[in-house]
Amino acid sequence: MPTVRKRGDLQWQAIVKRQGIGFASKTFTTKKDAEAWAKITEAEMLRGAYISRRDAEKITLAECIERYKKDVLPGLRGVGHEYILARLAEAFGKLALAHITPAKVAAHRDARLRAGRSPSTVKKELAKLSVIYKLAGQEWGIAGLENPVLNVSRPKEKNSRTRRLENGELEKLLAAAPKPVELLIRLALETAARLGELLALEWRDVDSARRVALLRGVGGRGTKNGDDVRAVPLSSAALVVLQELQALPLSIDGRVFYWWAGSDSFNKPWARLCKKAEIEDLRFHDLRHEATSRLFEKGVFEGVEVAAITGHKTLQMLKRYTHLRAADLAQKLG
């Protein structure tokens, strides 16, 4: 028979033991809840459906985060993973996996949004937490685990950023930029490549004769959309940029833009440059929007061809990066 005993003023502990099956216990704030849980758990044990949650009750999220850093993080591309893991550790690190409930996850979501974090950032945090639970349950052997994120709605993103270079901004950027940054900006506008792809570009992947460059992504682990490699055509202006880069001291590791280890190490130089050039609210990623829009404005390529250059998997995704100026379109109307 299950045992229910009082522990303190506001706690009731339910204990279920079955010889040859196992032992389970859980604490509740009411005797009624304790008795109900004990009854269900005993029935599950008798029909062989009980799964012990002992590990889920004991192992903390902080422990899982450390394992994720060791086993998974080294193989990931992109930036920001460490930041997200740090935020999750702050919010839930001391809690056992079984004690992180949908209500607590929802409260974290709301608190982050109130603190001014963007919906995109909060969605990434929830997605990372969900991935850790999936790994813990499916690959790390933590049985009886329920993913609390699955029952929490994700904040809606407002993908309405349409920032493009205004008149004179490019000239101000190039005039204020050190030579390597100037060349990085110019090549980004000619290729529509992501910052991480450009920083990972190696000279061995540049074929000036065929006017093609191969983008492999950060650390050679593939591009953001999962392609092992993506070929981008090189315009005459892009070839000029590469020639100017070859006139500079070359790197030992063979990378074209060896001055920065990765995208995160370029953030502060970019911020300083924009401040010096007196340009506000411009991200380096906005240059990808600018370059993509220019490909359409040239009238040389169609949607599928532009997607092949930029690496977008669908035309819907490509549309998000294409911001044609109404004034320019008006000129075409005559």
Q: Which of 31, 224, 283, 294 is catalytic?
A: 224
Is 319 a catalytic site residue? Answer: no
The two tokens of residue 287 are 């240059």
The mean per-residue pLDDT over the stretch 315-326 comes to 52
The two tokens of residue 10 are 């506001």
Is 83 a catalytic site residue? Answer: no
Distance CA 101, CA 187 (A): 47
* Residue pair 189/291 in contact by the 8 Å Cβ criterion: yes
Is 288 a catalytic site residue? Answer: yes
Would you state the pLDDT for residue 135?
A: 92
List pLDDT tens digits, range 9-33. 778 888 877 766 666 777 788 888 8
Q: Which of 87, 109, 112, 312 is catalytic?
A: 312
When comparing pLDDT for 274 and 253, which is higher? 274
Q: Which of 285, 294, 320, 323 is catalytic?
A: 285
Q: Which of 194, 216, 255, 289 is catalytic?
A: 194
Q: What average pLDDT does the structure give for the chain?
A: 81
Find the range with the poorest average confidence among 157-166, 269-278, 284-293.
157-166
Is 321 a catalytic site residue? Answer: yes
Find the range with the poorest average confidence among 40-44, 127-131, 152-156.
40-44
List pLDDT tens digits, range 91-123. 999 998 888 899 999 999 999 999 988 888 899
Is 69 a catalytic site residue? Answer: no
Find the range with the poorest average confidence among 153-162, 223-232, 272-281.
223-232
The mean per-residue pLDDT over the stretch 269-285 comes to 92
- Of all residues in the chain, the percent with pLDDT exceeding 90 is 35
With cut-offs at 50, 70 and 90, classify the pLDDT of residue 175: very high
Is 53 a catalytic site residue? Answer: no
Q: Which residue has the tokens 């389970």?
A: 24
The mean per-residue pLDDT over the stretch 250-256 comes to 87
pTM for this model (two decimals): 0.57
Backbone dihedral region for residue 80 (phi beyond 0: left; psi -120 to 50: alpha; all else: beta): left
| Other beta carbons within 10 Å of 302 | 11
Q: Which residues pair with 207 in a beta bridge?
A: 212
